[in-house]
Amino acid sequence: MLIIAGMVIVMFTLRWDFALIAVAALPFLVLFVSRVRRAIKKTITEVRRVQGEMVAAVQEGLQSMEVVEAFDREDIQEKQLASISRMIMDAALKARRVRALLAPMITLPIAVCTAFVLWRGTSLILRHAMTLGTLTVFTAYLARFFRPVQDLSGQADIFAQASVAAQRIQAILGAEAIIPERPDALDPPPFRGEIGYKGVAFGYDKADKPVLRNVNFTVKPGDMVGIVGETGSGKSTTVSLIPRFYDADAGTITIDGTDIRGFKLHGLRRQIGFVLQDTVLFGGTVRDNIAFGRPDATQDEVIRAAKEAMADEFITGLPHGYDSTVGDRGVTLSGGQRQLIGIARALIRDDPILILDEPTAALDAESEQLVIEALKRLMKGRTVICIAHRLSTIRDADKIIVIKDGVVAEEGSHQELMARDGAYAELHRIQFKDEPVVNPPGVEVDG
């Protein structure tokens, strides 16, 4: 820019009329470059979009490799990748064609301007109105003037690529939080663990039938509550509202009598522990995964949590013990071992509220028994909400809540619900077909 400004001053000093011709070419250059830049930006956006599809397809193919091979569908995956590759090539060629227009669009106005200056200068020289030396010097400065102009115009491609990349990043960084936090939200005090649902309703899509409708129940501090029901009845959705992964459309959820929307999200979630059906482990060491919720935990605290979770024995048997790498998503460990690490991860945080989402559903009988034993240690002194398909895991719960079609159909202890012979008893009969239903002493069942 400084060179351009300097050349303009020099050219106006030499021949102001010729300098006006040179400056007059700039608007045309700006117009051409802006049009081409918009076209380049559009084509690059398409290239980046298709490249994103390719990355997603490759990642999905690698993660589901066993399924693809089991169903002998490698040809389908290859065709999908070939199709996306063709789309990337077509988009890239289109972008290249648009970029190829940039050079001639810049060169043409410059060539016309230079030709006009030479023609006009020659005619003036022939009439002795201008010297050859003046024309030679002016054309030299004219070339020096247009060179940085061409360089700046040629950067349109780079600017367009950077602009597209910045927009894609900003779309993520600038995305609004799905769960808003109130401006007056406060950090919660240490929870006692009393949880209350009052008229709670929720739906993922407002146009569809709500998943939960008028859900009401209370969990006392230190109690273990089991939530059961058919697939799709709303069990997982019910507990997902407690850490505010979603917000209820109606009604309130309280902890220790306070609406959870009055708490800061980080403060709320710091006091809620999770053990899920499929414990997600990160690429790193066993120690890093156990200390994931508490990065400042010492080695002794990690080992103590692993021992309480009954994971120390298999961890010490690994090649490098607690420094062994577990691989992406814990692929080097069995399902039971991943669950034990997940329990150790929850133990080291020592949260007053614990959510268990079918923690033994995918385990074999031997691993299930080991995990259940570890869970018993984890649940001591905490308020526990456990989603269960296997009723054996929540038979000793203080309260069992049966969710059916998005509402609380029944609640009570195992004995009370069996005595009512309702939805829970029906679920029990389905799972334990060979086990006779024994009514508790002193309880009569109608019929």
Query: What is the per-residue pLDDT across 196-252, written as a single tens digit (0 to 9) for each?
Result: 999 999 988 876 788 999 999 999 998 999 999 888 888 888 999 999 998 999 999
Q: Which domain holds residue 337?
A: 195-431
In a domain, 70, yes or no: yes
In a shared domain, residues 57 and 158: yes
For residue 137, give the amino acid letter. V
State the CATH number of the domain containing residue 145.
Answer: 1.20.1560.10
Whole-number pLDDT of residue 254: 94
In a shared domain, residues 110 and 258: no
Whole-number pLDDT of residue 442: 41
In a shared domain, residues 390 and 325: yes
pLDDT greater than 70 at residue 336: yes
- DSSP element (H, E) containing 374: helix 365-379
pLDDT greater than 80 at residue 20: yes
Which of the residue ranges 260-264, 342-346, 370-374, 390-394 has the most confident prediction, judged by mean pLDDT?
Answer: 260-264
In a domain, 186, yes or no: no
Query: What is the per-residue pLDDT across 290-318, written as a single tens digit (0 to 9) for each?
Result: 998 788 888 999 998 888 888 888 889 88
* Overall average pLDDT of the 388-392 stretch: 80
In a domain, 444, yes or no: no
Whole-number pLDDT of residue 437: 46
> How many domains would you assign to the chain?
2
What is the length of the chain? 447
Q: Are the CB atoms for 437 and 418 separated by under 8 Å? A: yes
Query: 3-state DSSP call for residue 69?
Result: helix
How far apart are alpha carbons 167 and 175 in whole angstroms?
Answer: 12
Q: Considering the entire predicted model, what is its pTM? A: 0.66
In a shared domain, residues 377 and 262: yes
Whole-number pLDDT of residue 179: 81
How far apart are alpha carbons 261 and 269 in whole angstroms?
Answer: 12
In a shared domain, residues 77 and 224: no
Q: What's phi and psi for 160, nearest 5 deg? A: -65, -45
Q: What's phi and psi for 427, nearest 5 deg? A: -60, -40
